[in-house]
A and B are shown apart, each in its own frame.
Chain A
Amino acid sequence: MELGQMQGRLAEFTKSLYMEGILDAQFLQLQQLQDESNPDFVVEVVSLFFEDSEKLLNDIARALDQQSVDFKRVDAHVHQLKGSSASVGAQRVKNACVAFRNCCEEQNVEGCLRCLQQVKQEHYLVKNKLETLFRLEQQIVAAGGSVPMAEMTF
């Protein structure tokens, strides 16, 4: 595949992520903060996010598995996950966390387990999508091209 085609494919793919609400404007902000002095900024932040979020999801699962569920503790973890997903632009993960916090308030274990599933699904989705995004970028750079800046004109 030649360079122009690869860049076109990346642009289309990126656009779809925004259109589907998987990413929001905060991700664009991260991309804008990447430059020659900070060439891997996006990958670094995203990697930190996935390390952090995987741990949080495990902590939440464990907390919900207790005989007597500490909903405050679950809520605290979800709040953290909500914050970090908002900071990287993982919009659907963030939204799933908002819904989760409502379940925590209701102190409903079944509801919380369903919410956890939802969050995990969105988390898995954005992780796959971003891995694809980074792979496409790497291919372009390896072919000697530069990565076009995403524009929010849609």
Chain B
Amino acid sequence: MEYLHSDIADTQQREKQHFHVLAVDDSLIERKLLERLLRESSCKVTCVDSGDKALEYLGLLDSQEIDRSTASSSFPQPSTQEGLKVNLIMTDYSMPGMSGYDLLKRVKGSSWKDIPVVVMSSENVPSRISMCMEEGAEEFLLKPVQLSDLKKQLQPHLLKLPVHPKIDITTTSNDNGNDRMIIDITMNNNQNVVVSKRKTMTPEPLERRPQMKGLAVI
């Protein structure tokens, strides 16, 4: 039964091509920063301000789960609910109410368990870090999160996307800062990664214009 218009289907197809990150932090400043960093890395971002809101978004709130278990079998399963796709969850550790650790546990015990969860904290507490890693966190990042940390995090995930991503990692050389090395990582039709390097010269001195290309997924 065809109940989707072809253009809606196209949008959904395009949506699927974007790497979607669910960012959880109670601080507005942190959310704004993280959103900017993620968009700089060509990710689609959804920000929520608490663990409860994150669970609600994922359809994991107890009330939502009860509805589902009494629903008829024609309802889609939680992880593919209405085409909802989340590729990565990034959560702050210290939040009022549900902590990032609690959220991690809930996610890992749900139908979203295969989604990587990155925990962030401004405090470097080894026991906290190992606790999160043992619970299945993909990574533990110290705040403030740097764009370079994020690039390192996202790169292996972006390479796994079904469509062929083209990733530009622009780095400046360390001698006179005028040379630029651009590394093109593309995936050919055989799902092989092809890496090629090229050098460009920056003609003008550094100015406030788009410098950080980050990861551009086309």
A contacts, CB < 8 Å to B: 26, 29-38, 41, 44-45, 48-49, 52, 79-80, 82-84, 86-88, 146-149, 151
Contact = CB atoms under 8 A, between A and B. Distances in A.
A148 B208 contact: yes
B143 A87 contact: yes
B209 A36 contact: yes
Contacts of A32: 147, 211-212
A33 B212 contact: yes
A36 B206 CA distance: 15
Nearest to A35: B210
A44 B30 CA distance: 12
Contacts of A49: 29
Contacts of A79: 94, 122
Chain A residues touching B, majority SS: helix
Nearest to B122: A83
Interface of B: 27-30, 32-33, 36-37, 40, 94, 122, 143-144, 146-147, 205-212
A48 B29 contact: yes
Given A33-B147, A38-B36, A41-B36, A83 B211 contact: no
B209 A35 contact: yes
A149 B33 contact: no
Chain B residues touching A, majority SS: loop
Contact of B144 (A34, A48, A86, A147): A86
A84 B26 CA distance: 11
20 contacts: A29-B144, A30-B33, A32-B147, A33-B212, A36-B210, A45-B29, A48-B32, A49-B29, A52-B28, A79-B122, A83-B27, A83-B122, A83-B143, A84-B29, A87-B27, A87-B29, A87-B30, A147-B207, A148-B205, A148-B207
B32 A45 contact: yes
A34 B208 contact: yes
A31 B30 CA distance: 16
Nearest to A37: B210
Nearest to B147: A29
A88 B116 CA distance: 27
A149 B212 CA distance: 12
Contacts of A151: 206
Contact of A48 (B28, B143, B147): B28
A45 B33 contact: yes
Given A33-B147, A36-B210, A87-B29, 14 more contacts: A29-B146, A30-B33, A31-B208, A33-B37, A33-B212, A35-B212, A48-B32, A52-B27, A83-B122, A86-B143, A86-B144, A87-B143, A146-B209, A149-B208
